[in-house]
Amino acid sequence: MFTSVDDLEEHLTRPSESLVADLAAGSGDLVVLGAGGKMGPTLCRLARRGLDAAGRGADRVFAVSRWSDRTAAAALAGHGVDVVPFDLLDGDLGTLPDASDVVFMVGAKFGTSAAPYLAWVVNAALPARVAERYGGARVAALSTGNVYPLVPLSSGGSAEGDPVGPVGEYAMSCLGRERIFEHASATRGTAVTLIRLNYAVDLRYGVLADIGQRVLSGTAVDVTTGHVNVVWQGYANEVVLRSLGHATAGTPFTLNLTGPETASVRRVAADFGARLGTPVSFDGSEAETALLNDATLCHRLFGYPQVPLGTLIDWQAAWLSAGLPTSGKPTKFAVRDGRF
């Protein structure tokens, strides 16, 4: 169990032997674009620790973001990460550091139903500029499982070769981001990995935090979207970094990233109720479809996530019981019409 944010982040950013081995095979600096988001700070610190352990202490990690959270920026700088304050929408990308590896984490989701143009500018137009700026680098671009349609629960989830079917403009713009990087791979020979992530768990936010907080507050849990995939963020960040070694030119390497379980929202809520000693109530009934990904390829290449679902629920319940901080940024995983 974790007793503080520092304790959590130390665990999230502890590199595995497999990550260190993969990083030891590479060379050059790493630029992380959109490093100020929910996953970015821990990914940057993980990369720094992993490079140091791999004997690549001279290679730099550049964390690029507007950095409205100056505390987070200062903390990263204290861990040896080069913090680069920069507005990716308005700045001259030519002034950004050169790098052999790039992780693209920029995205706009919440509020885009009211301003859909923002989704397209951030999720599709910006990648075109980034793809031009870093055409000679290896790029791992974060995408989302939302590019797939809702699928029957019996399907086992969408696999990488299945047809896409984005619901709503946010998901469409994310598919646009993929197509932009696909174009760069096909026309410029940029080596690209596209990572379709479903719901990383960090204890401060995520699907489990959303469900656990509702149970703790006595609020009914909507089970219409009755099944989800989640994955420990420490594993997700490792896969993102290790996926750079699988980036391909001509046709991007596409990878679903999530946990192996198809989690029942009703069962997860009941588990929280048992751990928190709180009665649980529900709204709605389970739909026959959900947003689910099959991450078999990911697990075959990088191993199973080191933290199983039951442990994540234990950790999340303890975190909430202790009154430790949460982000206040819900995932809105229950949304079914694509309007965020």
Element counts in the chain: helices (H) and strands (E): 12, 15
Average pLDDT (111-127) is 91
Average pLDDT (184-211) is 97
- Rounded Cα distance between 15 and 234, Å, is 9
pLDDT of residue 295: 98
Confidence of residue 113 (pLDDT cuts 50, 70, 90): confident
Q: Is pLDDT of 81 > 90? A: yes
Q: Which of 218, 200, 220 is nearest to 209 (CA)?
A: 200
- Rounded Cα distance between 314 and 276, Å, is 10
Q: Is pLDDT of 80 > 90? A: yes
| pLDDT tens, position by position, 4-51 | 999 999 999 999 999 999 999 999 999 999 999 999 999 999 999 999
pLDDT of residue 115: 87
Cα 167 to Cα 164, 195, 229, 333, 340, distances in angstroms: 10, 18, 18, 13, 11
Average pLDDT (52-63) is 98
Confidence of residue 114 (pLDDT cuts 50, 70, 90): confident
Q: Is pLDDT of 112 > 90? A: no
CB-based contacts of 18, cutoff 8 Å, min separation 6: 238, 242, 302, 303
Percent of the residues in the chain that have a pLDDT greater than 70, as a whole number: 100
Rounded to 10 deg, the angle between the 40-53 and 70-78 helix axes is 10
pLDDT of residue 110: 79
Lowest-pLDDT choice from 24-38, 119-133, 324-338: 324-338
Asked whether the beta carbons of 99 and 28 are under 8 A apart, the reply is yes
pLDDT of residue 323: 97
Q: Which pTM does this prediction carry?
A: 0.96
Q: How many CB atoms lie within 10 A of CB 46?
A: 25
Q: Tokens for 69?
A: 């959270």
Average pLDDT (79-107) is 97
Q: Which of 67, 68, 200 is nearest to 142 (CA)?
A: 200
- Rounded Cα distance between 135 and 29, Å, is 15
Burial letters 127-145, b for 16+ CB under 10 A, else e:
bbbbbebbeebbbbbbbbb
pLDDT of residue 1: 81
Average pLDDT (242-265) is 97
| pLDDT tens, position by position, 266-300 | 999 999 999 999 999 999 999 999 999 999 999 99
Q: Tokens for 265?
A: 């929202």
pLDDT of residue 125: 96
- Rounded Cα distance between 86 and 66, Å, is 5
Q: Is pLDDT of 320 > 90? A: yes
Q: Is pLDDT of 338 > 90? A: no
Asked whether the beta carbons of 269 and 237 are under 8 A apart, the reply is no
Asked whether the beta carbons of 278 and 215 are under 8 A apart, the reply is yes
Three-state SS at 235? helix
Give the chain's mean pLDDT.
Answer: 96
**E strand or H helix at 127:** helix 126-133
